């Protein structure tokens, strides 16, 4: 159970008015250390939603998320921030730098 990120029966529902959109509907995946994964699917299949949940940037509607055997989806925002800083890295397609800060200040921001 070590060095694994596990999503079990993950669901993510967006409600727009009376309509429910299942961006993820019962998705289970095990991400192992030092392993490369490619998530492929058509536009709207749920790829971005999935990686935002795996990266602790968004929350699940249903299901469980485990990191190294510990259930992590109900942790506090501060505890999730610590995991994002120390264990689950995220490289955005666009860099999301703060334009008002210097380069070094952007790098220092998380610490």
Ligand X SMILES: Nc1ncnc2c1ncn2[C@@H]1O[C@H](COP(=O)(O)OP(=O)(O)O)[C@@H](O)[C@H]1O
Residues that bind ligand X (CB under 6 A): 14, 16, 21, 23, 41, 43-49
The total number of residues written for the chain in this structure? 111
Name the minimum Å distance from CB 56 to Mg ion. 17
Name the minimum Å distance from CB 83 to ligand X. 21
Quick one: what does residue 103 bind among Mg ion, ligand X, none, with the CB cut-off 5 to 8 Å set by partner type? none
Cα 8 vs. chain centroid, distance in angstroms?
A: 13
- The contacts of residue 20 (CB under 8 Å, 6+ apart) are 13, 14
Name the minimum Å distance from CB 108 to ligand X. 30
Strand partners, 4: 32
Binder to Mg ion among 25, 48, 52, 61 (CB under 5 A)? 48
| Range list of β-strands (E), the chain | 4-16, 19-32, 62-67, 70-71
Sole residue written with tokens 């994002």 = 84
CB 31 within 8 A of CB 83: no
Looking at the Cβ atoms of 16 and 103, the one nearer to ligand X is: 16
Quick one: what does residue 101 bind among ligand X, Mg ion, none, with the CB cut-off 5 to 8 Å set by partner type? none
Quick one: what does residue 46 bind among Mg ion, ligand X, none, with the CB cut-off 5 to 8 Å set by partner type? ligand X
């Amino acid at each position: 159970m070590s060095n694994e990120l596990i999503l079990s029966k993950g669901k993510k529902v967006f409600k727009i008015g009376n309509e429910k959109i299942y961006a993820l509907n019962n998705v289970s995946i095990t991400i192992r250390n030092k392993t490369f994964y490619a998530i492929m699917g058509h536009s709207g299949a749920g790829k971005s939603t999935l990686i935002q949940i795996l990266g602790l940037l968004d929350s699940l509607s249903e299901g469980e998320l485990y990191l190294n055997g510990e259930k992590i989806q109900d942790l506090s925002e501060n505890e999730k921030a610590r995991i994002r800083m120390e264990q689950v890295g995220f490289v955005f397609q666009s860099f999301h730098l703060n334009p008002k800060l210097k380069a070094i200040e952007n790098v220092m921001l998380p610490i």
